[in-house]
Chain A
């Protein structure tokens, strides 16, 4: 596949690894922001090759991992209602809420469906006018335009039985929050290429200048990520702190303006709690008042729901790089991939789950399964 195979070429990747390890005069600490980048790093073992030159901290850019517990509980409450078809991207189904997850709601009789696009959920609403169809609108700026489009289309078509449970978050406030933390160790960032494909990267320029950190807009294939790391290391070695664009084949400085305009028309900024991290001011998106008829929280009266997270789970410390997963007392004991306390243990690419498997591998233990 063109634009793909060359970004997976082992020879190019190895040359970049050599370039990074040769260039680094000390060990630098970088954070990749996006869950998709973590996915590639963990699956390809990129951090193992770079261990002498770079410590990679897996950032809070997995939308599954940072969706707050109270939004999950709201989803569970809505999905359990009898006349509701609750639609979601697949990987939200296994994220634990306070007492169950969406898969368990489905097993108890809730109508929970996996969709691949919010517009599929809207189509479902038009097909079943007698039912209430709710879409769980999670994710970063990447998924926001499609979700905005679904709401905008619903209003245009006069579809009244469609609503969205919004849990959108945005990247720049999260980077700022990490840099503001007194114990921050992150010296440079790989920004999420797909987020920037929508939003551009002008928002990152004041952050790079103010906190004196390199921010590299980076793609998702192994060669993209290694090139992004090489650019960050070069800046750190030279004492520069700029926003640079590695992902030039997809990202322009101003992003995709029609998508940005649509997002701005449907959503507005709001304070948003991040799972395990806490509330980050103006880090989320909510529906503007003129679209409140499509707000599932209002429609189903779950706005007031407040919950506390299990004290056992230190997902926030993992997501901000303060601790490695094995330093959490619940890791591997009360919290396992089969019974996750927090979202980083849910997804196979989540930091906790990745460490759990690695630990098993190093101990030489096989999975306990019936053949």
Chain B
């Protein structure tokens, strides 16, 4: 047996390398890697004085009066999809919830649960989208938190955002304020987000990629603000789609809602995908659509206000509030018959035939 001289190239040092392309458990340790993560990834993107103070809590100045508070957790798979990613979704989703109360969004907080092994390339794109969405909405992310869990304990990345908004005493839409005679408006063609996610998740190929409609809806809310208390209800029909939102409003107000099937705006590619999979676009999620219930006398004015903004250019009147069939949503078909649009017991499932 002959002695082989050691080849220095085969020697390796067990000490951890700091430079890495993936999230490690150490990034959630509170130690140096955690500090690096905040300093390199989050602060440059989200930078604002409240966040940069790096205190245990941020100090924000709020207008006098009541605050609207909303929180939402985002667990979308895949993390990135045509039209956005989980970052833009987490910003838009919570801002929109605050805005649907008629409040003016002031600031957001963001909590991240990262899975060990998540690539920094993905995380950086998520953070960049999130920062862009917050900047465009004019709503700073003033506080944040990051935790890392072991590989397999999370689906890449979860985000929770909480939003604060200043309540506008002259503009307080609420589901219970729907009145018989109200006109139901929808600000844009529906079902894009849900179908974009499904197509991306399942690898479904269509002629063109369906893009998510994820968007900040505050410009549309501000467009309706001059109508004041004549805007009775604002909602963004996310999970469960327009059908579930209308059902919730019917139950909350105690009145019936009637919509016209031919008026339901669905983009051609989204409709084709829905037909292929046997899904009803009324139950598919939206992230850039609002539903407004407006006093009949001012419905045309509201429609014009929505259409004046690019996000609302294709706004339409979908139906009306009626005294008949209280707490139920009914749909008038193209043929003139009526059927009920009920809540689904669970997720909508693609049909065999």
Q: Any chain B CB within 8 A of the CB of A99? A: no
| A371 contacts B353, C-beta separation under 8 Å | no
B254 nearest in chain A by CB position: A366
Q: Which of B328, B335, B353 is close to A365, meaning CB atoms less than 8 Å apart?
A: B328
| A89 touching B343, Cβ below 8 Å | no
The reply to whether B345 and A338 contact each other, CB–CB distance below 8 Å, is yes
A94 CA to B345 CA in the complex, in Å? 10
Give the segment of B156-164, B217-225, B319-327 that binds chain A: B319-327
Output the least CB separation between B131 and chain A (Å): 34
Residue with the highest number of chain A CB atoms closer than 10 Å, among B277, B336, B338, B352 = B352
Residue on B nearest A47 in the bound complex, by CB: B337
Residues of B within 8 A of A64 (CB): 352
Contacts of B248 in A (CB 8 A): 369, 371
Confirm or deny: A302 has a beta carbon within 8 angstroms of a beta carbon on chain B: no
Which residues in A have their C-beta under 8 angstroms from that of B344? 348
Chain A residues within 8 Å of B342, by CB: 337, 348, 357, 360, 367
Known A-B contacts A91-B350, A139-B352; the reply to A361 vs B335 at CB < 8 A is: no
Does B346 sit at the interface, judged by CB under 8 A? yes
Complex: how many Å from CA A360 to CA B330? Answer: 11
Across-interface contacts of A214 in B (CB, < 8 A): none
| Interface footprint category on B | 35 or more
Task: Decide yes or no: A358 and B340 within 8 Å by CB, A46-B335, A116-B277, A371-B248 being known contacts.
Answer: yes
Q: Does A306 contact B (CB under 8 A)?
A: no
Q: How far apart sit A89 and B276, CA to CA, in the bound complex (Å)?
A: 13
Flag whether A105 is at the interface (Cβ < 8 A). Answer: no
A44: chain B residues within 8 A (beta carbon): 333-335, 337
B324 / chain A contacts, CB cutoff of 8 Å:
364
CB contact under 8 A between A1 and B272, given known A43-B333, A43-B339, A91-B349: yes
User: B306-335, CB under 8 A of A: which get 1 and which 0?
Assistant: 000000000000000000111110100111
| In the bound complex, CA of A338 to CA of B204 (Å) | 30
B337 touches A361 (CB 8 A): no
From B202, B343, B350, give the contact of A369 (CB < 8 A): B343
A338–B175 Cα distance when bound, in Å, is 25
Cβ-defined partner of B335 (8 Å) among A42, A45, A94, A357: A45
Q: Is B268's CB within 8 Å of the partner chain A? A: yes
> What is the CA–CA distance of A347 and B338 in the complex, to the nearest angstrom?
19
Q: Indicate if B250 sits at the interface (CB-CB under 8 A).
A: yes
What's the nearest-Cβ distance from chain A to residue B34, in Å? 33
CB within 8 Å of B: which A9-65 residues: 10, 13-14, 17, 34-36, 39, 42-46, 48-49, 62-64
Question: Does any Cβ of B come within 8 Å of A143's Cβ?
Answer: yes
Please, what's the 1-or-0 string for A266-291, where 1 marks a CB less than 8 Å from any CB in chain B? 00000000000000000000000000
Chain A nearest Cβ from B96, distance in angstroms = 17
Asked whether B45 is an interface residue with its Cβ less than 8 Å from the other chain, the reply is no
Which chain B residues in 221-259 approach chain A with CB under 8 Å?
247-248, 250-252
Whether the pair B339, A89 counts as a contact (CB closer than 8 A) is no
Docked Cα-Cα span, A338 to B334, in Å, equals 29
Q: Does A142 interact with chain B (Cβ within 8 Å)?
A: yes
A48 CA to B337 CA, complexed, in Å:
8
Whether the Cβ atoms of A45 and B350 lie closer than 8 Å is no
Q: Answer whether residue B351 sits at the interface, using C-beta atoms and an 8 A cutoff.
A: yes
Closest to B338 in A: A45
- Indicate which residue in A49, A90, A338 contacts B350 across the interface (CB closer than 8 Å): A90
> Quick one: closest B residue to A139, CB to CB?
B352
Interface presence of A334 (CB below 8 A)? no
- Contacts A49-B335, A63-B352, A91-B352 known; A367 to B328 CB distance under 8 Å? yes
User: CA separation between A103 and B345, bound complex, in Å?
Assistant: 13
**A360-B328 in contact (CB<8A):** yes
**With the chains together, A337 CA to B327 CA distance in Å?**
18
Complex Cα spacing A36 to B335, Å: 18
1/0 per residue, CB under 8 A from B, across A92-112: the answer is 111000000001000000000
Q: How many Å from the CB of A315 to the closest CB on chain B?
A: 17
B residues within 8 A CB of A89?
A: 350-352
Note all chain A residues with C-beta closer than 8 A to B251.
Answer: 366-367, 369, 371
Bound Cα distance from A92 to B352, whole angstroms? 9
Bound complex: CA A366 to CA B351 (Å): 26
A90 x B337 contact (CB < 8 A) = no
Residue among A46, A63, A364 with max Cβ neighbours from chain B (10 Å): A364
Shortest beta-carbon distance from B114 to chain A in Å = 25
Once the chains are docked, how many angstroms separate the CA of A103 from the CA of B346? 10
What's the nearest-Cβ distance from chain B to residue A192, in Å?
A: 8
> Is A128 at the interface (CB under 8 A from chain B)?
no
Closest A residue to B342 using CB positions: A357
The answer, yes or no, to whether A191 is at the interface (CB within 8 Å) is no
- Name the interface residues of B32-87: CB closer than 8 Å to any CB of A: none
Instruction: Determine the residue in chain A with the shortest Cβ distance to B279.
Output: A90
Pairs of residues from A and B, 3 with the lowest C-beta to C-beta distance, nearest first: A366-B327, A45-B337, A90-B349
Subset of 7 A-B contacts with CB under 8 Å: A10-B336, A45-B337, A89-B350, A222-B335, A361-B330, A364-B325, A367-B251
